[in-house]
Amino acid sequence: MALTILTRRRLKLTSPRCFSTTSGLSSEALASAKQLRARSRIEEMDAVQPVSHHLVDTFKRRHNYLRISLTERCNLRCFYCMPSEGIELSPDGKLLTNEEILRLATLFVKSGVTKIRLTGGEPTVRKGIAEIIAELNSLRQYGLKSIGMTSNGLSLHRRLPLLIENGLTHLNLSLDTLDPFKFELITRRRGHDAVLKALDVALKSSLTSVKINIVVIKDLNDSEVLDFVEMTKEHPISVRFIEFMPFTGNKWDKKKMVESSELLRHIQARHPHVQRAPDELNDTARSWTIPGYRGNFGFISSMSDHFCSSCNRLRLTADGQIKVCLFDATEMSLRDQMRMGASDDELLQTIGRAVSGKKEKHAGMEDIDVVTNRPMILIGG
């Protein structure tokens, strides 16, 4: 079945209901097992790629993945990302230039980063994005292995071939609903068909990986979970269900969040033979497959079952701040240091201080700082 036809199906699904867990393991045993898996992953990473001590925190987590926000601007207004009243954008002179982005990316890659992901806002609204990707592609000689991008896909389908030619290898496409009407409710804009076109182009391309990110909101799009899973039948695509997360201005409410375990039980009721799939090292999603299906689906359970123990991510905001945790308001400005003439060694010292200050795990869902931390759009989603 063609994707464009599949995505227009309207299956009437009941909302997932809560069931009791049947794991049989105590919470202490589960926690111990998670710690063992995390340590095993760290040891596995140690054997694969050397990482500078500046990128290793006090809990021995090695940070070889850098997310770079290219812009604070976006052509959509998704309520879970941007406050309803909008945001105050940084003046252009406060944002990193292409040269500054490349300098920092080079420094991180030479220190052990092997994966870079471009985010925003919406990264495709950044002028010169094709040239930025081409410049990043030149860092493969220093150990960079992949260049990814997270996009809403609104203006992507015509531009994607050039981005791939210049070095883009992975694409995460944000698409929270298969219903054009709900799309406008969530994004406050039109453009559903344009996103589907981008998805079609991506699936026909030479990209190493194509993923769809779905932020699940109770009683809004949770009834579409099985529709999204069905997309993995004919296409080598990874569908990832993301728990609704609290950020400044997004009016987060625990009642609107659907836990990943609840979604999995709902899927298992329809597909009882679903199987656990192997995850990539440090992958945030716990992945599953259905026998005979070409793709897979997974859950990013930042709220109900965090993956902090194996976190390997650092974030660089569009205005040049390094953030070591999505939910920690602490930032250090690499932009200001560069513009004051700092050497690479001095920048590395600042990066090292930031990384060493990373906490063992973020706060619980009710205690996350949504006052001083940035809205998601200003962090890089």
**Residue 154 sits in which domain range?**
40-379
- Nearest Cα to Cα of residue 233 among 276, 323, 296: 296
The mean pLDDT value of the chain amounts to 84
pLDDT of residue 246: 59
Q: At residue 9, does pLDDT exceed 90?
A: no
Token couple for 285 = 């999603």
Q: Write the pLDDT tens digit of every residue in 71-107.
A: 999 888 877 777 666 667 888 899 999 999 999 999 9
Q: Write the pLDDT tens digit of every residue in 60-72.
A: 999 999 999 999 9
- Nearest Cα to Cα of residue 321 among 358, 363, 351: 351
Q: How confident is the model at residue 376 (pLDDT cuts 50, 70, 90)?
A: low
Q: At residue 21, does pLDDT exceed 50?
A: no
pLDDT of residue 24: 52
CATH number at residue 282: 3.20.20.70
Give burial (CB, 10 Å; 0-12/13-18/19+) of 18: exposed
Terminal-residue alpha carbon distance, the chain? 31
349, HSE (Cβ side, Cα atoms, 13 Å): 7
Q: How confident is the model at residue 20 (pLDDT cuts 50, 70, 90)?
A: very low
Can you give the C-alpha Rg of the chain in angstroms? 20
Q: How many CB atoms lie within 10 A of CB 92?
A: 7
Q: In what order do the strands lie in the sheet with 146-151?
A: 275-276, 286-289, 296-300, 238-243, 209-216, 170-174, 146-151, 115-119, 65-69, 313-316, 321-323, 332-333
pLDDT of residue 2: 42
Q: Write the pLDDT tens digit of every residue in 212-248.
A: 999 998 989 999 999 999 999 999 999 999 987 655 5
Q: Examine residue 32 and state whether it is found in any structural domain, yes or no.
A: no
Q: Left, alpha or beta for 60 (phi > 0: left; psi -120 to 50: alpha)?
A: left
Q: Write the pLDDT tens digit of every residue in 155-198.
A: 999 999 999 999 999 999 999 999 999 999 989 899 999 999 99
Token couple for 179 = 């219903």
CA distances from 202 to 208, 247, 270 (A): 10, 30, 28
Query: What is the length of the chain?
Result: 381
Q: Give CA–CA dist 315/379, Å, rounded.
A: 8
Q: Examine residue 238 and state whether it is found in any structural domain, yes or no.
A: yes
pLDDT of residue 327: 72
* Inter-residue contact 229 to 266 (CB < 8 Å): no
pLDDT of residue 251: 61
SS3 (DSSP) at 270: helix
Amino acid sitting at position 150: T
SS3 (DSSP) at 9: coil
Structurally, how many domains does the chain consist of? 1
Question: Where are the strands (E) in the chain, listed by range?
Answer: 65-69, 115-119, 146-151, 170-174, 209-216, 238-243, 275-276, 286-289, 296-300, 313-316, 321-323, 332-333
Instruction: Give me the sign of the Cα torsion angle 151, 146, 242, 200.
Output: positive
Q: Examine residue 316 and state whether it is found in any structural domain, yes or no.
A: yes
Where is mean pLDDT largest: 20-34, 36-50, 343-357? Answer: 343-357
User: Mean pLDDT throughout 314-322?
Assistant: 96
Token couple for 35 = 């710690």
pLDDT of residue 50: 84
Q: At a CB cut-off of 8 Å and minimum separation 6, what does 170 contact?
A: 117, 146, 147, 148, 149, 207, 208, 209, 210, 211
* Inter-residue contact 158 to 188 (CB < 8 Å): no
pLDDT of residue 212: 97
Q: How many CB atoms lie within 10 A of CB 132?
A: 23
Q: DSSP assignment, residue 85? A: T
* Inter-residue contact 187 to 77 (CB < 8 Å): yes
Q: How confident is the model at residue 10 (pLDDT cuts 50, 70, 90)?
A: very low
Q: At residue 257, does pLDDT exceed 60?
A: yes
pLDDT of residue 258: 87
Q: Examine residue 136 and state whether it is found in any structural domain, yes or no.
A: yes
Mean pLDDT is lowest, of 174-183, 289-298, 336-345, 355-364, for 355-364
Q: Which residues are bridge partners to 141 per DSSP?
A: none
Q: How many CB atoms lie within 10 A of CB 357?
A: 14
pLDDT of residue 84: 63
Q: Examine residue 33 and state whether it is found in any structural domain, yes or no.
A: no
